[in-house]
Structure 1
Amino acid sequence: MAQGYGGFRSIRGFGVGKIGTAGTTIIVITVMAIAASSFYSLLTTVYLTLLTIPVLALTVVPFGGSRRTAIQHLVWELRSLQGNANNTDSYSSDVLSEVPGGDHLPGILAPLKPLTVDDGLGGKQCLIWNRRTGILSAVLRVSPVGITLADEADANAWVQAYGAWLADLGYRPMISSVVFTVESSPTGGVNQRDYILDRIVPDAPEITTRIMRSIAASSRSSTADVSTLVTINFDPSKARPEPKTLLEGASEVVRWLPGIESALAAAGATVTGRATTPFLIRRIRAAFDPAIRMFLADGEMEEDELLQWRDAGPIRTDSNRKTDVYKHDSGYSVSWVLQETPNGVIRQDILLPLVSPGKYYRRFSMVYRPFTAAEAAEIVEKEITGGTLRKIFNSKTKKDETQRDHDDRVRARRAAQEESLGAGLGQFTMYLTTTVRNEETLPAACADVEERFGNAKLRFRRARGAQEATFAASLGLGIDPTSGLSRTPATRWLG
């Protein structure tokens, strides 16, 4: 029987219900202030009560899938309307342009800059430098073994090795986050058909030629292209000693990669190579222009010196706010963001519906941000204290504790116990993007994605008003909106 896993729990602090720690603190202080005013004037207390109730409802109580307050929803809508009015979510790189586009990619990808460095193995690799956050990202091309046909004992061993590696990240403060990106697209048998037909010799028997050609033709509807990348985001500002130049930072990143590659191999994901600059250019370009994906095979033009970073970007993009569809060159994309994880026990194949190939192109990206060992111990203790305070609050207000609150306290204590035994603690999120070339097939592609994450017992929400940013975040190139898109010069490496 497959082993079960759990432990997914959002950090709640001592907030009551869906109200976070800050909101609960504001409410408690407000109630105490109103109670204190009753000693001076009952009329003042009534006025303060009538005034604070709607203010708190608008500024403190969150609602909706995004868990924003009414004021935050209003600010989001106003900023989105302003962006649409100024066309800040559109991009054009025509042949004739009044403002030169330079080497920047559109939107939140603009701060990214590729660095070609020696990989220490006699070859070259690409590091991506985010000039707004100071993060250096190394992209590894991996080939997961897969657990569908694997022995159960081997699958459990891989998962345990993966958990041990995640726990070890708590002692590696330089690693800011890890991104796992899986792309799957139907190829129509192009690569396989060409591979077979190119190997049919002219003097082969006619019967064997017919058999091989029929096999190549029949494989068109049953082949897919699946690729997996692991992006390691390094924060050189947390290295000791801190690198003072790009050369020192790149050298420090390259020094860390062999150990990471060994850990991934133990977890069942063999590293087949480190991504080069031409490879990333072609991959990003194919994401924006799916019509050319079939012509950008991995083995072709690997050392093409004519490729430049500007070639990775699209020619034209546009985001439709009404339909939440991101248009880019020959593609139409829709993206989703993780909303809620399952509460119960899960199996190691929970993500299989999201990463397995289907009829439409799909990109799945999971971002994991580890807490340091010191932070993890402090967080789990605070979560236990928060659960105890909520239980005391329910007792004082003569309110029965809900089963959800009880289970949450149990999970918090279990997390503290596992952390004391050496388990890691971190935050993660997921992005899903589907892309089609014909806009008429987009509803079917969206329905396919929604059915898949339903089968995976995961809840996603459509990235309303943020399709362009979510599309960029799902590429796995060091862009992580959950940790901020920029930093101040005082906290940014090389700021």
Structure 2
Amino acid sequence: MSETRGYGGYREVTGFGLGRLGTSGTAIILATVVGLAFTTFVSLVLAFMGLLIAIPVLALTIVPVGDSRRTVVQHVAWNVRNAWANRRASDAHAADVLEEVSRGENLPGVLAPLKPLTVEDGRGGSQCLLWNRRTGILSAVLKVSPVGTTLADTADTEAWVRNYGSWLADLGFTPIISSVVFTCESSPTGGVDQRAYTLARMERDGRNAPKLAKTIMKKVVNQSRTTTADVQMRVTVNFDLSKASPQPKTLSEGAAEVVRWLPRIESALAAAGATVTERASTASVIRNIRAAFDPAIRVFLSDAPDEEADELLSWSDAGPLRTESTKDVYYHDSGYSVTWVFKAPPSGVVRHHILLKLVSPGKYYRRFSLVYRPYTAAQAAEIVEREIQAGTLRRIWNAKTKKDETQREYDDRVRARKAAQEESMGAGLGQFTMYITTTVRNEETLAAACADIEDRVSASKLQFRRARGAQAAAFATSLGYGIEPTAGLSRSAAQRWLA
């Protein structure tokens, strides 16, 4: 029996920075030191006074503090803005009949630029594309049904992982794809009554079945759980049509270009073990977003197509009636949500089931979202070479300052060289981040739901932190619908596609 293959080599792009300072922070400190050194030729008193001023200023404005990697000044500015927003209730939302400023069909917060487009899917049907009017990105939502790895052979699992890695590497040669979002939602409610469903099918279709088969089926049903969990998985592909060749001139041409790319993506996902069941319709997107904001109605929503009901849905129906955000909790309609954001990659070797704890159903509703933004092939080659040079520079700096190289610094240089070797052999390079959101209907159970997330995170070798002060934005981003955090939330008018 072969051993399970391990995967590793995850590292952050550090550049030429020393420690946590980063490239720009290191350059500013070195420039300050050089400036003070030249000042000593003019006046020692002036140099000493400059040193007394430079130390606290640099410590407050350059050195990052905490998990969010903000400086002290940035922390203060963030908290002041957050307190001012809470005092003015500028981050609250209420969809009343009479509003001071009508929001039209716009959703609250960072979801406001999104607009659904119903287009032909090239197969005789229609599908939904989400247009981000601020960034110009068009997003296609694909519903997938992944093959489970629990009962799969090791060889099949490794083949799926290899095909998945090949697809990610291929994204480096398709600049039109800005990012890909993988989202998994699991809920203990809204599932199928498995026992009643099976007994009803036995009564209807098993009338002529052998008595022994009926007896075995009844025993199996009685020993199984009554209700199954509701698990939904989707892949959202964000297209930056400003990088298309030739660049489309109208929105309809851009939508046609997106639809043309989807069969290739669906084939790649199928080879990676995630079969695309269908392309999301506008009505299904509306229902899903609405259920995220109002979990009380999730049990009443069905994925079964209902053309008459779908015709009555509008984009404004996807939004909440009332929301309010605090530093740690996001209140929305009948739900209370807390979101965690990715902090650091695993330092060691991981297995293919590293995310199983985070996506498997539990007692509380949970949404896991992974965002992957590929570098182009040219950018990847430049980045890995620059990282090797930066590691060499830090080693020379340690030697000049007579400082021993730590094991962490040595391992980082080894991983940088390994990444360059893999990139030269055809591997892709990209940025990725993750979000975890838990939602409960009773505020008293929120602490237990958060503890469940913390336990699952600790068992996965991944590091997350709470999105303190940004719960509303993190909640919206974790939905996986057209918001790409790694590319920013806006662009200038000169760079925006179809401005």
Residue 393 (structure 1) aligns with: 397
Alignment partner of 1:280 is 2:323: no
Residue 315 (structure 1) aligns with: 321
Q: Which runs of 5+ in 2 are unaligned?
A: none
Residue 412 (structure 2) aligns with: 408
Within 1, Cα distance between the matches of 2:403 and 2:18?
12
Residue 159 (structure 2) aligns with: 157
Give the CA deviation at 1:480: 2.1
Does structure 1 retain, via aligned residues, the 8 Å contact 2:286–2:317?
yes
Within 1, Cα distance between the matches of 2:214 and 2:426?
60
Give the CA deviation at 1:297: 1.5
Q: What SS is found at the alignment partner of 1:332?
A: strand
Give the CA deviation at 1:202: 12
Q: 1:439 to 1:220 in 2, by over 3 A?
A: farther
Within 1, Cα distance between the matches of 2:370 and 2:21?
26
Within 2, Cα distance between the matches of 1:399 and 1:203?
77
Does structure 2 retain, via aligned residues, the 8 Å contact 1:189–1:219?
no
Alignment partner of 1:459 is 2:470: no
Residue 225 (structure 1) aligns with: 230
Q: 1:489 to 1:400 in 2, by over 3 A?
A: same
Within 2, Cα distance between the matches of 1:102 and 1:191?
39
Q: Which amino acid aligns with 1:159?
A: V
Structure 1 stretch 210-219 or stretch 220-229: which is displaced more? 210-219
Within 2, Cα distance between the matches of 1:211 and 1:296?
33
Does structure 1 retain, via aligned residues, the 8 Å contact 2:135–2:489?
yes
Instruction: Report the TM-score, using the length of structure 1 for normalisation.
Output: 0.95
Q: Give deviations 1:44-101, integer Å, cap 9, x for gaps.
A: 1101100000010011100101011111111111221222122121111123434333
Q: 1:38 to 1:302 in 2, by over 3 A?
A: farther
Does structure 2 retain, via aligned residues, the 8 Å contact 1:279–1:302?
no
% identity of equivalent residues: 66
1:44-443 map, 5 Å = 44-187=46-189, 190-192=192-194, 195-196=197-198, 199=201, 200-201=203-204, 223-301=228-306, 304-321=310-327, 324-443=328-447
Give the CA deviation at 1:188: 6.8
Within 2, Cα distance between the matches of 1:279 and 1:217?
34
Within 1, Cα distance between the matches of 2:343 and 2:88?
30
Within 2, Cα distance between the matches of 1:107 and 1:194?
42
Q: Which amino acid aligns with 1:273?
A: E
Q: Which amino acid aligns with 1:494?
A: L
Q: Which runs of 5+ in 1 are unaligned?
A: none
Total equivalences in the alignment: 492
Instruction: Report the TM-score, using the length of structure 2 for normalisation.
Output: 0.95
Match among 443, 448, 454 for residue 444 of structure 1 = 448
Q: Which amino acid aligns with 2:425?
A: L
Match among 468, 473, 489 for residue 485 of structure 1 = 489
Q: Give deviations 1:369-402, integer Å, cap 9, x for gaps.
A: 0000000000001100100110011000000000
What RMSD over aligned residues (CA atoms) do the two structures have, in Å? 2.1
Q: What SS is found at the alignment partner of 1:445?
A: helix
Q: 1:39 to 1:135 in 2, by over 3 A?
A: same
Within 2, Cα distance between the matches of 1:223 and 1:202?
22
Within 1, Cα distance between the matches of 2:408 and 2:466?
26
Does structure 2 retain, via aligned residues, the 8 Å contact 1:92–1:317?
yes
